[in-house]
Amino acid sequence: MPRNGLIDPRIGFIGIGLMGLPLCRRLLDADFALTVWNRHPDKCEPLLMLGAQQAASPATLVEGVDIIFLCVSDTAAVEQIVCGRDGLLTALQPGQIIIDLSSIDPAVTRQLAGLVQEKDAHWIDAPVSGGVMGAESGTLVIMAGGDADIIDRARPVLGALSQRVTHMGPSGAGQVTKICNQLIVAANAVLIAEAVALAEKAGVDAAKLAPALAGGFADSKPFQLLAPRMSARTFTPVQWRVQTLLKDLDMATALAQHCQSATPLAQAAAGLMREHAEQGHMSDDLSSLITLFAGEKPSC
């Protein structure tokens, strides 16, 4: 097939979800030749109209590309795509690079990187932070682990996704960094709920907290997103579901146990968030955490 106007390397992308779709659009916009695969094939259709090819399986996707991105939901999904029937390992060639954008267990990351290395291919863990908006606007934070030379070789492609790529250390270091990021986000959300509830009960107009404290030392993107929704008792999911951040806190405490590192506040936050999820808020927005500490919105 002629590759008129397309630039090397050729890219494969597995996982066309909320994040994968805008990231693939960015790769096509940058004139990379793109082959995609998704468990539910119809999710690929918007990309085929933009010039992407569709592969029948991860194994067939591998055959025509240089770099393979993974962007799927969890550790089990990555393992299935790599090691399962018609998985990447059945067709992987020396020199190919797998870049895993998914957020998964760093220990599994190191195992998979080892299996890939046995085939003289390469694994980069590159989980992201910044959500769908970051994926669309090219402002994702990308935390990369693996061989610095391989990351440098992939930089022209990663650069189409975001300019914010940092090499954090050896294989798994990207996943560890993402876990530390989520530890702060999730536990800080509980702190924000405590502060908003306290402000309300002590007579403050909590709707004014986000504008009043903007740019100060208590401020953060989660504070600006969550404090107004907590104050208004708006719990429809926008940025984060309780179950997602609970999973993240569980990963953080598991990693902390494994590394013999104390994380007392994160562990307490995980306990509070599990209690909250069990009270029926599993699928609610993280803003629903306010109900742990305050009841109905005050009418005055």
User: Which are the catalytic amino acids?
Assistant: 178
Q: Which is nearer to a second copy, 131 or 159 (CB)?
A: 131
> Is residue 263 a contact point for a second copy (CB under 8 A)?
yes
* Backbone Cα Rg of the chain: 21
Which one of the spans 13-21, 43-51, 79-87, 203-211 is the region binding a second copy (CB under 8 A)? 203-211
Taking the complex as a whole, how short is the minimal distance between the CB of residue 264 and a second copy, in angstroms?
6
> Is residue 291 a contact point for a second copy (CB under 8 A)?
no
Contact 150, 97 (CB under 8 A): yes
DSSP, residue by residue, the chain: ---TT-EEEEEEEE--STTHHHHHHHHHHTTEEEEEE-SSGGGGHHHHTTT-EE-SSHHHHHHT-SEEEE--SSHHHHHHHHHSTT-GGGT--TT-EEEE-S---HHHHHHHHHHHHTTT-EEEE--EESHHHHHHHT--EEEEES-HHHHHHHHHHHHHH-SEEEEEESTTHHHHHHHHHHHHHHHHHHHHHHHHHHHHHTT--GGGHHHHHTTSTT--HHHHHHHHHHHHT--S-SS-BHHHHHHHHHHHHHHHHHHT---HHHHHHHHHHHHHIIIIITTSBGGGGGGGT--SPP--
Which one of the spans 29-37, 42-50, 52-60, 288-296 is the region binding a second copy (CB under 8 A)? 288-296
Write each residue from 209 to 248 as x if it is in contact with a second copy (CB under 8 A), else as -, in one continuous string: x-xxxxxxxxxxxxx-------------------------
> Is residue 150 a contact point for a second copy (CB under 8 A)?
no
Which one of the spans 16-24, 31-39, 71-79, 263-271 is the region binding a second copy (CB under 8 A)? 263-271
> Is residue 18 a contact point for a second copy (CB under 8 A)?
no
> Is residue 197 a contact point for a second copy (CB under 8 A)?
yes
Find the binder of a second copy among 57, 73, 129, 234 (CB under 8 A): 129
Find the binder of a second copy among 12, 20, 58, 106 (CB under 8 A): 106
Q: Which is nearer to a second copy, 2 or 203 (CB)?
A: 203
> Is residue 199 a contact point for a second copy (CB under 8 A)?
yes
Find the binder of a second copy among 113, 195, 251, 290 (CB under 8 A): 195
> Is residue 296 a contact point for a second copy (CB under 8 A)?
no
Find the binder of a second copy among 19, 36, 173, 246 (CB under 8 A): 173
Q: Which is nearer to a second copy, 76 or 184 (CB)?
A: 184
